[in-house]
Amino acid sequence: MSITYLTEEGLKKLQDELTHLKTVQRPLISKQIAEARDKGDLSENAEYDAAKDAQGLLELKISKMEELLSSARIVDESKIDTSKVSILSKVKIKNLANKQEVTYTLVAENEADLKAGKISVTSPIGKGLLGKKKGEIAEITVPSGKLKFEIVSIDR
């Protein structure tokens, strides 16, 4: 089992979603199964089959979330080393091809949100930036080819 590093915000979001799945979604699907069962012959009841499939998917999702939460560790943002890029680092990088600068915060995979400037440490760019220091060049292979980024600054 691998450890998942989360922010307090990310942990709370996961816990809230799990609670919603257990207290709202699970009873809703149980009700749908009961209603479909009341309609008679289960061998030809597509509604019943669909509800049972949905129940299986929901239980799988709940199980995966519980496993993720059991291995979760909260990252103390005050102890982040800003001398090199690590999880929760706020990194300003410059694309050496077009001189465009962009700032990303490296987060756990389930907290990634590109619109909010949060990229996963498991993404190609995230992996390529990890461990780099200010001023270093990161050569990263992405689906469209190789990109070179200069680390402009590292904050928390």
Query: What torsion do the CA atoms of 129, 87, 72, 13 make, to the nearest 10 degrees?
Result: -110
Fold of the domain built from segment(s) 4-74 = Helix Hairpins (1.10.287)
Of 40 and 117, the structure prediction assigns the larger pLDDT to 117
Same fold, 4-74 and 77-155: no
For 107-126, write each residue's pLDDT tens digit: 888 888 889 999 998 899 99
pLDDT category, 1, cuts 50, 70, 90? low
- From the list 26, 32, 111, 47, the residue with the least C-alpha distance to 77 is 111
Write down the architecture of domain 77-155 according to CATH.
Roll (3.10)
For 18-32, write each residue's pLDDT tens digit: 999 999 999 999 998
Residue for token digits 């600054």?
153
For 74-101, write each residue's pLDDT tens digit: 877 777 777 889 888 899 999 998 999 9
pTM comes to: 0.67
